[in-house]
Amino acid sequence: MPQFRPPTHRQWRPRSRLASLTRGKHVLVAIALCLTIFYLVSRSGGTSESTLLERHMNSGPPRYPIKVVKSSVDWGNIEYRHPPPTNLAQLPKPPRKGKGNLPRVQHKFKKESAAARATREARRDAVLRLTKKCWDSYRRYAWMQDALLPLSKGGTQQFSGWAATLVDSLDTLWIMGLRDEFDEAVAAVAEIDFGSSTSPLVNIFETNIRYLGGLMAAYDLSGRGVLLQKAVELGDLIYGGFNTMDRMPVDNINFEAAKEGTGLLMEPHVVSASPGTLTLELTRLSQMTGDPKYYDAITGIVDLFYRGQNQTAVPGLFPMFVSMAHLDVTAGNTFTLGGCADSLYEYFPKMHALLLGGHAQIATLTRGFLDAAKRNLFFRPMVPDSTSPEADILISGNLNFDPDGNSRLDPETEHLTCFIGGTFALAGRLFQNEQDVAVGARLARGCVYAYRAFPTGMMPERLNMYRPHLPKGFTTAKDPRYILRPEAIESVFYLWRITGDMEWQEAAWDMFQAVARGTATETGSAAVLDVTEDKPNLPLDDYMESFWIAETLKYFYLVFSSPDLISLDKYVLNTEAHPFLLPQT
């Protein structure tokens, strides 16, 4: 696979316009112009991040030459054993024309004081510095590999060898104004060969959320045509994952079988999040390209979950494992919003937003899961300071059924489950139910509480808490790691943008200081093996997941940026925090 190699130094890059003004009078003119601009900006209170974003989108050609290498397999021209239907489902139309298809989601923020702005921007810049450090280390030690090994200063392949961290980080670089780094990364993306894989099996879920989501979001932000071109190449590969008898997706695409179009082997059972988390990206790809085939592919998934929603042991919710091979999303005894199921539910309200409220089944799925989760999964744990406002929290547990059909709530939760606060708040606004916004706040506050409760200021990967009928406190930290996960700050971001309450910015700053300190290495950040003991040097794992830059640091940055940057009324973010533009009506 041809690979773009970064330069060892930066002197060769085109010189700036100001640097080319070598004559004295031109320098004076340029200085005067800069002083004038500085004066005007300072008088106007500064330039918002949204204005900077617009300037980036119209700031001229990329600084790096683009050499597009078409993938060695033309996934769009594979002859399938199980071809798609001739009459493809079309994207639904919004329920009414013009503006107002969706209610306002984001809080109407008032102008902040100079002191508040200075504090916010200082915090934002701290996030930027850490992101830059991590990206520079990836660029130096793991370029074009999937992930950085921050302790051994190397790289590793994890997801087919298509530079997962690079693709996953594209929109973060753009949002943070790292234009030079973005341009260099785009030039490298242009040479990725999606016809060659380091693994014989391509995981459809991870490929979809990290790679396809990353490419499309970066295209939505920058308008760079090469990103859409590569997104279509990859989208056609994912589309090939539906080459099965019932046109349902496999969990892992056999790369060689997919090339031949001979049909794929369906797994007997898969986690429910795997098929359920293909909907947003493939819908957006149809919106971008005008080709309905991608959206058509996911309509079967939506219809299957819709028909089964009230046939499960917990009507409204789906079991952790489902069977695409047997078209069964109802049989199962474990129900959770955590790992294996999380983004299935996350995508219900986000699909509602992306389709501008134009899909009745999606609306029903969303409302059904919200009501069922409130009735069956959420509990208020016993905590020592139960009378304080900060302790007005909810935790999402797991519901298990025994062979006799008796249910038991397991008060175990995961960091992965922390997304649910933001999802409830978002759905509450989309469906104009402020009670659900309040429930989302209590859920997000529960994860913030877990961060603050441990001596390192970081929440463990998995823990248990007492329900009210037992003594106060935590019972276990079954998995004491912090692996750079974003879900807690994700919910804090949504609650900040939706409510405007300052408690969320303060919580975000506490969390950022803790994770930045606890994960710090010479080359960036590494996962922590045990957050339950406060030691001078925490034990670290030699790994930096691509979602650290793509999600965690991006959410921290957005909390401390102008609310106009990636507004929740203009974008919907996928489960990897990649922002997709809402279509214009």
The pLDDT tens digits for 248-274 are 999 999 999 999 999 899 999 999 999
Q: Output the pLDDT for position 393.
A: 95
288-326 pLDDT, tens digit each: 999 999 999 999 999 999 999 999 999 999 999 999 999
Mean per-residue pLDDT of the chain: 90
Our answer to whether residue 206 is catalytic in this structure is yes
Question: Given this model, what pLDDT does residue 525 score?
Answer: 98
Residue tagged active-site, from 168, 171, 461, 545 = 461
Q: In this predicted structure, what is the pLDDT of residue 389?
A: 73
Cα-only R_g, the chain = 24
What are the residue boundaries of the structural domains of the chain, listed by start? 24-581
* For range 110-139, the mean pLDDT: 97
Minimal CA–CA distance to 506: which of 119, 175, 167?
A: 119
Indicate the burial class of 401 (C-beta count within 10 angstroms; 0-12, 13-18, 19 or more).
middle
- Which tens digits make up the pLDDT trace of 133-187? 999 999 999 999 999 999 999 999 999 999 999 999 999 999 999 999 999 999 9
Of 340, 346, 339, nearest to 423 by C-alpha is 346
Name the active-site residue from 168, 487, 490, 576: 487
Residue 43 has pLDDT above 60, yes or no: no
For residues 490-502, average pLDDT: 98
CB 324 within 8 A of CB 121: no
**pLDDT tier at 15 (50, 70, 90 boundaries)?**
very low
| C-beta separation of 334 from 319 below 8 A | yes
What's the burial of 17, exposed, middle or buried (CB within 10 Å: 0-12/13-18/19+)?
Answer: exposed
Q: Which fold has domain 24-581?
A: Glycosyltransferase (1.50.10)
Active-site hit among 183, 206, 236, 414: 206
Q: Which residues are annotated as a binding site?
A: 575
Could you report the per-residue pLDDT of 410-430, keeping only the tens digit for each? 999 999 999 999 999 999 999
CA dist 201 and 551 (Å) reads 25
* pLDDT, tens digit (0-9, with 9 covering 90-100), for 211-251: 999 999 999 999 999 999 999 999 999 999 999 999 999 99
Q: Give the C-alpha separation, 395 to 382, whole Å.
A: 11
Q: Determine how many CB atoms are found less than 10 A away from the CB of residue 380.
A: 16
SS3 content of the chain, % helix, strand, coil (to 5): 45, 10, 45
Averaged pLDDT, 510-529: 97
Residues whose CB falls within 8 Å of the CB of residue 11, separated by 6 or more in sequence, listed in order? none
Binding-site positions for Ca(2+): 575
| Known catalytic membership, residue 121 | no
Residue 434 annotated as catalytic: no
Report residue 60's pLDDT band, with 50, 70 and 90 as the boundaries. low
Percentage of the chain beyond pLDDT 70 is: 88
- 443-481, pLDDT tens digit by residue? 999 999 999 999 999 999 999 998 774 445 788 999 999
- 461 classed as catalytic: yes
The pLDDT score that the predictor gives to residue 572 is: 98
Q: Does residue 3 register a pLDDT over 50?
A: no
